[in-house]
Chain A
């Protein structure tokens, strides 16, 4: 790596590694919660005509409505921690992967705004228009984020401003694998979460509907992951080596958990399936991290060489710890409040509500 990208006094390993771990935790939360919100867009898109798809769309809207904004903040969190903790990595990634990240940003705008607009619309054609926009952008945004992950993991983002290929950095086998895998995993997570919600709303028909979709998307995601072994072997040997050596336990864990999640779905143990699916996705993300560590931009940029100054890392980590004291109870309250069985309030039962999207 060229000398100037390195900051003069690299941080000690502890603050930098802690920062990386916190960031990866944020990324995991985004993949689980934000990913499920994006995946819900798949099922919204595929729910069928406005009459047939009405119950599924109502459940989707009811489930992600109160939480998607909070779930979305995880992404901002990761972006901010990346530029605070590892500024050269942030600059290199953002400038080289300018195209897919701009498309991601536009997808985020379209998804969030269209979802809010659909909820506030009263007319069928408006709900259809905003709904289509919400659903389409929900599908493409995780794909582009996945291509970004693939570009970084396959070592196509060199340090420096826009030093990598404008197109080749994200239009390559590993990026495409990342994109397809991200989209499939989001769809699977969403279906698993939604069938649990449908069960709690005591709607056996919707429960079965999303259970079948959870099984199908789980099999699809597993197939993509299997095919990915070949892709990585050919296209990203460094990552492949890490996954088959240091990260092997995590890779195996993700495979076992994924299979367990499918089995639990088949056995109608929906809550346990939810936990297994979430853990499987977590294992995938952390196996990537373990395979690549300590390289942030393979092959040469490491955690230590890219880390910000120690005072910055320490101050940010302390602020985050204090913030977490406020955040964690609030977040738990939010989820608890809307995961309880509806208590018969005026808008409590979405599925049978007289006005619902696409109605």
Chain B
């Protein structure tokens, strides 16, 4: 009997499991079905799930971060009476209304796809990850209810009460992210399940709390929530960086840039620390994924850190090597032993080049965003000293030397944050291959054996292409159809329609 109880031994249980020979037919047979999916259909199912998740994850991040930003400017507007803040709040709320609707429906599709594409996973382990999803359902419900109130009762409720109706949106949004990522973390660190025999045994006992609060949950959820804030903050600030570059330097656009940038710049350093925690966690708990991220072929000490490169059986080639880098990062000593891909059979290794590049892109984008914040902070500090000395004041980055370059970089900060997000998500999912539940269930045994998944993929791609075009178009029209007045401070924000 194999136990994946919370009190796991020092050796990660799933690692020990992953070495077990698991004949694919045995696992499939345990689910009362002999028919196997066509390889093309497995690829189509993975492509469809990956695509719709990659699409939804951006909307979900905006759903977590944008309400916080909107509440922030609304609060500033209430406190100071600044019309620019109040107008910003209304405009962001209007965009939020569109984005939340699209995010809600694209999220629903995912809950369908869990069953449509991966019935083998859900039929077997649906009950194990059900608890966080039930909680997520409640959190999402509260989010939807208060979003309805927040948007549609803007002019019906007094200012402070209206501001308060936005708070549950933020809290429930963060809670949703936490619950969903807890379920994903379980797929990386399955706990709280007892099987009758081997990985293809029956589920004989489930501890839903142990499953939910698995060891991967703390680093993964923290990393994801901070990422959501960064994506929302930098995407919003990018929009205003473009407007500033086009010469709209009024208070409205400066605030629209500064508020989200401040949030992003505050979160970025914390995210680097949390990211380090998440990677170090992998070294202890999911070393095969770390080995794929860094292209470590052979277990050993003095492992270098490689930037870029192409995987071959002996590791990464053509990359930039930092001697002892990975060993130092994992254990602070060059002698730290890092497990390589050779600890598992080739069939159980994830695709190295893709995972490694996704990881490197994420880290590069993360440090780029960190550098932007550091740059602004350094210039501002220097200017404050000079201001004290000379009384001369410049409002960098809205004027002064290097400001245009800085704003141009900020204009790509939003896309860079999305690259980091998608890269990190690719590392999590692709780095777990060929498993859908690490060490317990492979994607091949989880996929729907029904024919025609490829047709479903094309249909979904077509619908999402239209959805993407329409979303971008409507968001752009929102700006054009009701442009900001030339002097927003003279305009009446109350006249701006929220819904």
* A69 and chain B: residue at smallest CB distance: B144
Assuming the contacts A104-B112, A112-B101, A161-B448, asked whether A94 and B122 have C-beta atoms less than 8 A apart, the reply is: yes
A252 at the interface (CB under 8 A from B): no
Query: Which size bracket describes the interface of A in this complex?
Result: 35 or more
Q: Which residues of A contact B467 (CB under 8 A)?
A: 109, 113
Report the minimum CB–CB distance from A167 to chain B (whole Å).
10
Cβ–Cβ contact A312 & B144, under 8 A: no
Cβ–Cβ contact A162 & B127, under 8 A: no
* B29 and chain A: residue at smallest CB distance: A4
Q: Which residues of A contact B451 (CB under 8 A)?
A: 166
Report the minimum CB–CB distance from B179 to chain A (whole Å).
10
Q: Which residues of A contact B209 (CB under 8 A)?
A: 315
Cβ–Cβ contact A330 & B207, under 8 A: no
In the assembled complex, the Cα of A13 lies from the Cα of B275 at a distance in Å of 45
Q: Which residues of B contact A316 (CB under 8 A)?
A: 130-131, 134, 208
Cβ–Cβ contact A101 & B147, under 8 A: no
Cβ–Cβ contact A91 & B130, under 8 A: no
Stretch at the interface among A178-186, A265-273, A332-340: A332-340
Cβ–Cβ contact A327 & B131, under 8 A: no
In the assembled complex, the Cα of A315 lies from the Cα of B127 at a distance in Å of 11
Assuming the contacts A92-B123, A102-B459, A162-B449, asked whether A113 and B101 have C-beta atoms less than 8 A apart, the reply is: yes
Cβ–Cβ contact B142 & A327, under 8 A: yes
Stretch at the interface among A115-123, A215-223, A279-287: A115-123
Cβ–Cβ contact A70 & B145, under 8 A: yes
Q: Interface size on B (CB < 8 Å)?
A: 86
Cβ–Cβ contact A69 & B111, under 8 A: no
In the assembled complex, the Cα of A309 lies from the Cα of B35 at a distance in Å of 27
In the assembled complex, the Cα of A108 lies from the Cα of B207 at a distance in Å of 34
Q: Which residues of B contact A110 (CB under 8 A)?
A: 463
Report the minimum CB–CB distance from A356 to chain B (whole Å).
12
Assuming the contacts A112-B102, A330-B168, asked whether A8 and B155 have C-beta atoms less than 8 A apart, the reply is: no
Stretch at the interface among B113-121, B229-237, B307-315, B434-442: B113-121
Cβ–Cβ contact A109 & B111, under 8 A: no
Cβ–Cβ contact A73 & B450, under 8 A: no
In the assembled complex, the Cα of A101 lies from the Cα of B451 at a distance in Å of 15
Cβ–Cβ contact B108 & A113, under 8 A: no
In the assembled complex, the Cα of A98 lies from the Cα of B123 at a distance in Å of 15
B324 at the interface (CB under 8 A from A): no
Contact with A along B88-105 (1 / 0, CB 8 A): 000000100110111011
Q: Which residues of A contact B147 (CB under 8 A)?
A: 69
In the assembled complex, the Cα of A44 lies from the Cα of B476 at a distance in Å of 26
Contact with B along A97-109 (1 / 0, CB 8 A): 0110110111011
In the A-B complex, the 8 residue pairs with the closest CB atoms: A84-B130, A91-B123, A94-B115, A323-B138, A116-B101, A308-B127, A87-B126, A83-B126
Report the minimum CB–CB distance from A36 to chain B (whole Å).
15
Other A-B contacts than A80-B136, A316-B131, 4 sampled, CB-CB below 8 A, are A85-B127, A96-B450, A106-B463, A120-B97
Cβ–Cβ contact B450 & A327, under 8 A: no
* B200 and chain A: residue at smallest CB distance: A4
In the assembled complex, the Cα of A160 lies from the Cα of B140 at a distance in Å of 31
- Other-chain contact of A91, B120, B149, B453, B463 (Cβ < 8 Å): B120
Q: Which residues of A contact B116 (CB under 8 A)?
A: 94-95, 98, 101-102, 105
A231 at the interface (CB under 8 A from B): no
In the assembled complex, the Cα of A79 lies from the Cα of B145 at a distance in Å of 19
Q: Which residues of A contact B152 (CB under 8 A)?
A: 65-66, 337-338
Stretch at the interface among A52-60, A189-197, A239-247, A343-351: A343-351
In the assembled complex, the Cα of A237 lies from the Cα of B470 at a distance in Å of 47
In the assembled complex, the Cα of A334 lies from the Cα of B153 at a distance in Å of 10
B334 at the interface (CB under 8 A from A): no
Q: Which residues of A contact B450 (CB under 8 A)?
A: 95-96, 98, 161-162, 166
Cβ–Cβ contact A327 & B109, under 8 A: no
* B156 and chain A: residue at smallest CB distance: A345
Q: Which residues of A contact B104 (CB under 8 A)?
A: 69, 72-73, 112
Report the minimum CB–CB distance from A120 to chain B (whole Å).
5
Cβ–Cβ contact A312 & B208, under 8 A: yes
Report the minimum CB–CB distance from B489 to chain A (whole Å).
21
Q: Which residues of A contact B146 (CB under 8 A)?
A: 330
In the assembled complex, the Cα of A290 lies from the Cα of B205 at a distance in Å of 30
Cβ–Cβ contact A76 & B108, under 8 A: yes
In the assembled complex, the Cα of A298 lies from the Cα of B359 at a distance in Å of 48
In the complex, which of the residues B112, B137, B452, B499 has the most CB atoms of chain A within 10 Å of its own CB atom? Answer: B137
A81 at the interface (CB under 8 A from B): yes
Chain B 442-475 interface residues, beta-carbon cutoff 8 Å to A: 448-453, 456, 459-460, 463, 467, 470-471, 474
B11 at the interface (CB under 8 A from A): no
Cβ–Cβ contact A308 & B130, under 8 A: yes
